Amino acid sequence: MGSFKDLLVYKKAFSLAQDIFEVSKSFPKEEKYSLTDQIRRSSRSVCANFAEAYRKRVYVAHFKSKLTDSDAENSETQVWLDFSLSCGYIQNDTYSTLYNRSIEVGKLLNHAMYNPGNYGVKVN
């Protein structure tokens, strides 16, 4: 099995986090220590938790546990996207694109949770 960086779910989550970083550069300065930091942190945590899950794939329960952490961070990112739209920091088209990409990442994470054998986890 290759690196977690070679997997589609990681690539899509990483790309999404990078695009959120770029978009959040235009958020107001007063949001620096709240919304901006939160959305950057949660979107990046999707990738970090997936990487940890991949490294813990020797144990099914550990793998799934870290994947649920990754999925939770992805859901948190969606909430911050909701706030970004509601506050007028992003346009509807940007919101829809980022939100839909986050939904796709969530589906990929759920696929990994329910199909751990496809990710090198030894399932009895």
pLDDT > 80? residue 27: yes
Taking the C-alpha atoms of residue 26 and residue 91, their distance in angstroms, rounded to an integer, is: 12
Residues 34-52, mean pLDDT to the nearest whole number: 97
Residues 89-94, mean pLDDT to the nearest whole number: 98
Taking the C-alpha atoms of residue 74 and residue 69, their distance in angstroms, rounded to an integer, is: 9
CATH fold of 4-117 reads de novo design (two linked rop proteins) (1.20.1440)
How do the domains of the chain map onto residue ranges?
A: 4-117
Task: Label residue 29 by pLDDT band (50, 70, 90).
Answer: very high
Residues 88-101, mean pLDDT to the nearest whole number: 98
Q: Report CA-CA distances (Å) from 106 to 3, 30, 43, 112, 124.
A: 20, 30, 12, 10, 26
Contact predicate 36/24, CB 8 Å:
yes
Taking the C-alpha atoms of residue 78 and residue 92, their distance in angstroms, rounded to an integer, is: 14
Burial class from Cβ neighbours inside 10 Å (0-12, 13-18, 19+) for residue 109 reads buried
Residues 36-45, mean pLDDT to the nearest whole number: 98
pLDDT > 70? residue 90: yes
Angle (CA) 13-16-18 rounded to 5° is 110
Mean pLDDT across the chain, nearest whole number? 96
pLDDT tens, position by position, 45-88: 999 999 999 999 999 999 999 999 999 999 999 999 999 999 99
Taking the C-alpha atoms of residue 39 and residue 32, their distance in angstroms, rounded to an integer, is: 10
Q: Which two tokens stand for residue 32?
A: 């620096």
pLDDT of residue 1: 60
